[in-house]
Amino acid sequence: MIKRVILDVDTGIDDMVATIMAAKSESLKIEGVIATAGNQPLTKTMNNTLSVCQQLQLDVPVFAGAAAPLVKKPHCAPHIHGEDGLGGVVFPPLEKKGETLHGVLFLIETIRANPHEITVIATGPLTDIALAFSIAPDIIGLIDSLVIMGGALKGGNVTSHAEFNFFYDGEAAQIVLSSGAPVVLVPLDVTSRVRISEDRLKRYEQVENQVIRMMCTSLRFYQKAYAHNGLEDPIIHDAVCIAYAIDPRMFSGNLMDVSVTCSYDEWYGNLKAADSINSSVFVTTGIDTARFFRLFDDLLL
Ligand SMILES: [Ca+2]
């Protein structure tokens, strides 16, 4: 069965990899893409999203979402994704145009018009989803599922207690996770198991394909940025959510009661989680990495 999806992204190198995967999958039909502020300010994430879709010849509408977190000041990540957010890839002139409708309204309208049909895959901060749930709480019961990259059961990648997306907008994350919506959470602990090794990157660099070449240019930058920051092989966090939407059987996990700390101290953006069979939030805790890369290679090579 083909799954109808809306992507909410802050493109971002790993968002780009996720979008490529989603576009190449015959199991997913992308209804639209919303760009939100996160890795970079909205103007850049919007341009990056449009450029990636244009490069993929992906004929889907692209919408601008939220320009800033609900409460906090924005906090971008140029040290990991580059000043342009995509590690310096040079795109052809941008011809694809964004829609005039706001991304949050697109989300609400599409879910209302297609009850229990739409899976939302959110790989940036959750500001748009929180706004949509606040404006139109009826869609919480109409969404088929909401797959989120965010949070960390242990540690973090922005502070020692918080993952980037939840740190960027902790209030939005808390609103979404406590909404009762059917959420699948893919935290840092799971995405961190999906890394692009040097051997693998070299192999992808041999592929004669414009889109794959664009991906490799970004991943090379990403690899250097990781090394520069003293980190191991780069992680394609957001692509892991696409894999969940395509083949959830490669994951393990549990229903958990979850909350996100929103106090303005060193714990801001921290994910707290405890097993609970009554929760609407399924937290993935494991992934069959070999199976992930079989899917990845099948789609891309
Ligand atoms: Ca992202």
Angle at Cα 137 formed by Cα 134 and Cα 138, nearest 5°? Answer: 160
List C-alpha distances in Å: 164 to 88, 220, 237.
21, 21, 11
Instruction: Give distance in angstroms: CA of 40 to centre of ligand 1.
Output: 10
pLDDT at 231: 84
Are 34 and 7 in contact, with CB atoms under 8 Å apart? yes
Is residue 145 within 8 A of residue 24, CB to CB? The reply is: no
Cα–Cα distance measured from residue 30 to residue 283, given in angstroms and rounded to the nearest whole number: 24
Ligand 1 mean position, distance from CA 12 (Å): 6
Banded model confidence at residue 240, pLDDT cuts 50, 70, 90:
very high
Catalytic residues: 10
Q: How far is the CA of 115 from the centre of ligand 1 (A)?
A: 26
Q: How many domains does the chain have?
A: 1
Query: Residue 34 corresponds to which tokens in the numbers above?
Result: 């919303």
CATH of the domain at 241: 3.90.245.10
Residues 126-137: pLDDT tens digits? 999 999 999 999
Residue 64: is its pLDDT beyond 80? yes
Q: Is the pLDDT of residue 81 over 80?
A: no
**Residues with Cβ within 5 Å of ion ligand 1?**
10, 12, 15, 123-124, 238
DSSP one-letter string for 44-107: HHHHHHHHHHHHTT----EEE--SS-SSSPP---HHHH-TTSSTTPPPPPP-----SS-HHHHH
pLDDT in tens, 94-120: 999 999 999 999 999 999 999 999 999
Half-sphere CA count of 4, side-chain side, radius 13 A: 14
> Residue 136's domain spans which residues?
3-300
Residues 6+ apart with CB under 8 A from 299: 21, 24, 25
Interval 25-53 mean pLDDT: 96
Q: Which two tokens stand for residue 16?
A: 């780009």
Tokens 């919480």 map to which residue?
A: 140
Q: Is the pLDDT of residue 83 over 90?
A: no
Q: How far is the CA of 27 from the centre of ligand 1 (A)?
A: 22
Q: How far is the CA of 16 from the centre of ligand 1 (A)?
A: 8
